[in-house]
Amino acid sequence: MAVVARDSEPGAAAGASRPAAASRLMASMAGLDWLARIWWAFLSISLFAGLWELCWAMGWADEKLLPPPHIFLDNIAEQGRYFNTATRWQVGQSMTEGPSAFESVLITGAATTARVFVGLIIASVLAIGVGVLIRYYRFFDRLVLPTITLLSPVSPIAWLPVAIFLFGIGNAPAIFMVVVALFFHMVLATINQIDTVNTNLINVARTMGASKAQIYARVIVPAILPGMLQVLRMNLFGAWMVVLVAESTGVGYGMGQVIMLARNTFNPSLVFFTIAVIGVLGFTFDWLLRLAQRRILYWLPDTVERLRVL
């Protein structure tokens, strides 16, 4: 049990020699932990970019097809102009008016992020709600679960036409796509989580005279939250993919739209620039979610720490 393992940690650390020394060093730097992490992230990305640049310098990578970072990041103002399409399309501005290149990138990125975020919230609330109802009411289980199981393996891409039929153009179809991509899996995950709640916890509540509703509200839902946040994080990247597809097929504006534009105008630099922006957004989003996870689920031990002593 992880909790017990944590109790015995000081003893274990004293017993092991080298790894323990390393972990002590790490612990003493705990205050600078975030700095170290940023440093490692920087190193990791630099290494990747460096290799790419090397390929370019050696002439292995054609700069017209695979422009290295220093080229596609060179002219942000130029690239940012294309992001402007979105807002221009919305407010009917001409190419020369409207937000600056930098603002355009921000607005477009924020629009896409907002869709992912809203979709995530709607999908979580719906999925946990439906999952709990399925376990709570037998008849609801029998009535609804077969359909959900049937629909869950369907690729979200298949829902794209439906999104357009139902919601036309704008935020709604993109959000709908995110919700559809997450909802079915998350319902099944909720049910699975409920089924694996420690029986003792439920029995304790039962002996104290808790009603079925109280057991669900006070024991089962809090008990499944950690697992659900984990499921949410694992599905986050799926949500990002779907939202790009939704945007690129003309259901709105956003990062997906820019990728589509880059493709149609054969602009590899713009493609890679957009990929870089999406990467940063996705990474930040996951980081925020992890932060939230640690805040909301303060009672969970840090699972990474467990492996570090090995």
Partner 1 sequence: MSSEDAPHFSSKDAVVCRGVGKTWAAGTKRAHNALTDIDLDVAPGEFVVFLGPSGCGKSTLLYLIAGLEDATEGKLWSFGDLVETPSPERSLIFQETSLFPWLTVWENVSFGLSIRGASKDERRTVAAEALQRVGLKAAMDKRPDELSGGMRQRVAVARALAMRPRVLLMDEPFAALDVQTRARMQDFLLDVWRDSGASVLFVTHHIDEAVALADRVVVFTSRPGRIKTIVPIEMSRPRNLFSREAENLRIQLTDLLRDEVDRAFAEQEAFAIPA
Whole-number minimum distance, CB 293 to partner 1, in Å? Answer: 13
CB-nearer residue toward partner 1: 198 or 284: 198
Candidate segments 20-28, 103-111, 158-166, 212-220, binder of partner 1 by CB under 8 A: 212-220
In the set 118, 210, 236, 289, which binds partner 1 (CB under 8 A)? 210
Both tokens assigned to 8:
């015995």
CB-nearer residue toward partner 1: 65 or 208: 208
Query: Judged by CB under 8 A, does residue 213 bind partner 1?
Result: no
Query: Judged by CB under 8 A, does residue 204 bind partner 1?
Result: yes
- Interacting residues of 221 by C-beta distance below 8 A, sequence separation 6+: 128, 132
Amino acid type, 212: K
- Interacting residues of 76 by C-beta distance below 8 A, sequence separation 6+: 101, 102, 105, 273
CB 217 within 8 Å of CB 209: no
In the set 44, 75, 93, 214, which binds partner 1 (CB under 8 A)? 214
Query: Judged by CB under 8 A, does residue 209 bind partner 1?
Result: yes
Placement of tokens 């779907």 in the chain:
242
Q: What Å distances lie between residue 266 and 184, 273, 308, CA to CA?
A: 37, 13, 46
Amino acid type, 44: S
Candidate segments 4-12, 64-72, 74-82, 175-183, binder of partner 1 by CB under 8 A: 4-12
Query: Judged by CB under 8 A, does residue 305 bind partner 1?
Result: no
Residues 206-226 as b or e (16 or more Cβ within 10 Å = b)? eeeebeeeebbeebbbebbbe
CB 82 within 8 Å of CB 261: yes
Whole-number minimum distance, CB 217 to partner 1, in Å? Answer: 11
x/- mask, partner 1, residues 158-197, rule CB under 8 A, reads ----------------------------------------
Whole-number minimum distance, CB 203 to partner 1, in Å? Answer: 5
Whole-number minimum distance, CB 187 to partner 1, in Å? Answer: 23
**Alpha-carbon span 222 to 119, nearest angstrom:** 22
Query: Judged by CB under 8 A, does residue 219 bind partner 1?
Result: yes
**Alpha-carbon span 103 to 106, nearest angstrom:** 5
Whole-number minimum distance, CB 19 to partner 1, in Å? Answer: 24
Candidate segments 91-99, 151-159, 258-266, 299-307, binder of partner 1 by CB under 8 A: 299-307
Scanning residues 5 to 44, which ones bind partner 1 (CB under 8 A)?
6-7
Q: What Å distances lie between residue 153 and 24, 149, 174, 184, 232, CA to CA?
A: 46, 8, 20, 8, 17
Count of residues that bind partner 1 according to CB under 8 A: 27
Binding site for partner 1 (CB under 8 A): 1, 3-4, 6-7, 198, 200-201, 203-210, 214, 218-219, 222-223, 225, 297-301
